[in-house]
């Protein structure tokens, strides 16, 4: 603690600094510190609180440094500090016909593995140096036909395999170089900083009377080495419903502009991305600052006209999705679940629906709170109410095509998750279908419907039967056989919307839309009113081998940033 600072109060003190979510920075992604400070009055506040109260007498000062060693690994995919130096001897005839040897550039490596991965490039460097010595130039990939050169270097590689230290030696020195690179709370490392360590120095700023500013002592945090951002997963293609032709999502079915696409995506809220839930996923790949980059790139690549998202965190809707999707031409609405936030303001998830402003105008939108519906139902058993209060919600957005070609109700929801509470799921879906049907009846039978969301119900469930057939036969589903509190007695268990699941147009539902170590199955759907819409294409679901290539236990992983995959369908209006 410091000395006295007026009014008998003590000076502020920085108590702790650490990196939020992960200490491993990723190229192109923000890394954010979390700082705890004791205030002069004894209160303890975090950097989150202080950042939300700018202009006060106390603030935080941040100075970022990138720390690199003079020699870094020459492997283009690594750039960690070098520990080994490879001296390449070769026959270089000088004017006196004497033998010469030379240490070439790009010959420092962090490990033997990186050295061996770079062997082809080393041979090209060798060829380039040899040919340039004779006044010629060579491009990468050329010069490898020099049989004598290849033989010499292959002999050298065999020498390496026998006695590595004969051709690789430790650098005498590899000093650390420090460069100041940032002055705000967050920092985004670039490609040129891969392999470097980030050094953060934080101090408090105490603005006193008469304009005096006191700067506190430093508190320091040091990251792990910056890593390269993984390459995106393979592109997912559209499947033509009629021909089964595959084509990129960057073009439309039949190359026409008369269709529209609706995507549904549970994007995994940050409040649920704990190492306890997903122990197979690296902490840096769970961090929101990394995942939001992947999610944005993925959504942009699908070229959807309407985006239905689930598990959108309230603060992320305002801070990320609205500005980012807004810059791409979308407008959206959000509805949070009707339960308490998790610790801080904005730490609650909900549903968000976005639409392209150049394609649609919004006529009206409504929120559906399933808890409110439960309070209004005539329940036979008062204990049923406690069972039904889960906080789930739905959204209804009425969109008019700007060209006057039609009106569509977009219904987006996230149904309760617990597999042992199927009666709750049926209640919520039944309630939502009733709201959709009431809206369509008011708007007119020409109104089309697209019902998208995470229903947390597989294709053999009671929920699926209700949506797909328009009625639910209670006696054939064991999951709802024991409706202890007679919840289903308050439900219609029928509807007249004539809905079809988009993916059944290519034969059947996907094998999975959710893939984790504890569950693999289909939970996400895009339904449509087949009386006035035609499904012309759907987005293929990634193959299991592609998912498991990044983690043998599933998603999320370093390239797939949700535990769900997006599902999308393209529609034309029935003539």
How many residues would you count in the chain?
575
Percent of the residues in the chain that have a pLDDT greater than 90, as a whole number: 66
| Unique residue bearing structure tokens 């024991």 | 482
d(CA 519, CA 102): 58
| Unique residue bearing structure tokens 């004539």 | 498
pLDDT digits (tens, 9 = 90+) for 216-258: 999 999 999 899 999 999 999 999 999 999 999 998 876 666 8
Mean pLDDT value across the chain: 86
The residues pairing with 213 across neighbouring beta strands, listed in sequence order, are 207
Question: What counts of helices (H) and strands (E) characterise the chain?
Answer: 13, 27
d(CA 381, CA 385): 8
Compute the 3-state secondary structure of the chain and give helix, strand, coil in percent, each to the nearest 5. 25, 30, 45
| Residue burial 235-263, b: 16+ Cβ < 10 Å; e: rest | ebebbbbeeeeeeebeebbeeeeebbbbb
The secondary structure of 100-127, three-state, reads CECCCCCCEECCHHHHHHCHHHHHHHHH
pLDDT digits (tens, 9 = 90+) for 424-466: 999 999 999 999 999 999 999 899 999 999 999 999 999 999 9
| Cβ-contact 492, 434 below 8 angstroms | yes
Percent of the residues in the chain that have a pLDDT greater than 70, as a whole number: 83
| Cβ-contact 370, 431 below 8 angstroms | yes
Distances (CA, A) of 237 to 252, 454, 532, 537, 566: 11, 21, 25, 10, 12
CATH 3.60.10.10 fits 238-573, yes or no: yes
φ and ψ at residue 174, rounded to 5 degrees: -145, 70
Which pLDDT score is estimated for 320? 97
pLDDT digits (tens, 9 = 90+) for 296-339: 999 999 999 999 999 999 999 999 999 999 999 999 999 999 98
Which pLDDT score is estimated for 156? 52
φ and ψ at residue 368, rounded to 5 degrees: -120, 120
Which pLDDT score is estimated for 158? 52
- Is residue 537 predicted with pLDDT exceeding 60? yes
Task: Answer with the residue of higher pLDDT: 8 or 419.
Answer: 419
The tokens of 409 are what?
């109700």
Domain boundaries, the chain: 13-70+175-225, 84-169, 238-573
pLDDT digits (tens, 9 = 90+) for 8-64: 457 899 999 999 889 999 999 999 999 999 999 899 999 988 877 777 788 899 999
- Is residue 165 predicted with pLDDT exceeding 70? no
Among 67-76, 245-254, 391-400, 518-527, the minimum mean pLDDT is found in: 67-76
Fold of 13-70+175-225: Immunoglobulin-like (2.60.40)
Which pLDDT score is estimated for 558? 95
pTM, entire model: 0.83
């Amino acid at each position: 603690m410091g000395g006295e600072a007026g009014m008998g109060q003590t000076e502020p003190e920085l108590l702790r600094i650490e990196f939020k979510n992960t200490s491993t920075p990723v190229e192109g992604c923000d890394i954010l510190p979390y700082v705890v400070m004791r205030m002069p009055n004894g209160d303890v506040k975090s950097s989150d609180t202080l950042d939300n109260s700018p202009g006060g007498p106390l603030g935080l000062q941040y100075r970022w440094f990138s720390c690199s060693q003079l020699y870094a690994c020459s492997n283009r995919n690594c750039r960690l500090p070098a520990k080994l130096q490879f001296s390449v001897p070769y026959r270089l005839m000088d004017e006196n016909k004497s033998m010469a040897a030379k240490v070439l550039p790009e010959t420092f490596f962090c490990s033997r593995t990186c050295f061996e991965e770079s062997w082809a490039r080393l041979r090209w460097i060798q060829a380039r140096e040899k040919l340039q010595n004779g006044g010629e130039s060579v491009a990468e990939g050329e010069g490898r036909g020099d049989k004598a050169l290849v033989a010499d270097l292959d002999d050298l590689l065999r020498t390496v395999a026998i006695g590595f230290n004969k051709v690789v030696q430790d650098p005498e020195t590899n000093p650390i170089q420090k460069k100041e690179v940032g002055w705000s709370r967050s920092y985004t490392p670039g490609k040129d900083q891969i392999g470097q360590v980030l050094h953060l120095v934080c101090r408090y700023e105490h603005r006193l009377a008469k304009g005096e500013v006191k700067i506190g002592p430093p508190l320091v945090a040091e990251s792990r080495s910056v890593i390269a951002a993984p390459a995106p997963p393979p592109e997912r293609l559209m499947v033509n419903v009629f021909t089964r032709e595959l084509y990129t999502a960057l073009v439309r079915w039949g190359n026409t502009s008369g269709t529209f696409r609706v995507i549904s995506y549970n994007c995994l809220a940050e409040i649920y991305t704990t190492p306890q839930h997903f122990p197979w996923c690296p902490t840096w790949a769970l961090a929101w600052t990394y995942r939001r980059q992947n999610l944005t790139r993925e959504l942009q690549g699908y070229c959807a006209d309407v985006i239905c998202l689930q598990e959108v965190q309230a603060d992320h809707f305002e801070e990320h999705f609205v500005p980012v999707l807004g810059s791409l031409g979308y407008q959206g609405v959000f509805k949070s679940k009707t339960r308490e936030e998790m610790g801080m303001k904005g730490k609650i998830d909900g549903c968000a629906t976005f639409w392209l402003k150049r394609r649609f105008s919004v006529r009206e939108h409504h929120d559906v709170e399933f808890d409110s519906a439960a309070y209004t139902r005539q329940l036979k058993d008062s204990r049923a109410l406690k069972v039904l209060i889960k906080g789930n919600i739905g959204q209804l957005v009425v969109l008019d095509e700007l060209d006057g070609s039609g009106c569509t109700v977009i219904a987006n929801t996230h149904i309760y998750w617990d597999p042992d509470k199927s009666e709750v799921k049926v209640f919520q879906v039944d309630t939502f279908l009733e709201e959709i049907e009431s809206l369509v009846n008011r708007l007119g039978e020409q109104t089309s419907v697209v019902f998208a969301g995470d229903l947390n119900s597989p294709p053999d469930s009671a929920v699926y039967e209700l949506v797909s057939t328009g009625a639910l036969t209670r006696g054939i589903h064991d999951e709802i056989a024991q409706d202890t509190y007679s919840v289903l007695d308050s439900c219609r268990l029928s509807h007249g919307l004539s809905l079809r699941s988009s993916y059944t147009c290519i034969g059947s539902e996907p094998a999975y839309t959710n893939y984790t170590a504890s569950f693999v199955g289909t939970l996400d759907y895009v339904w449509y009113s087949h009386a006035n819409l035609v499904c012309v294409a759907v987005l293929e679901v990634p193959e299991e081998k592609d998912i498991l290539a990044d983690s043998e236990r599933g998603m999320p992983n370093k390239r797939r940033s949700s535990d769900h995959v997006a599902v999308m369908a393209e529609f034309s209006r029935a003539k």
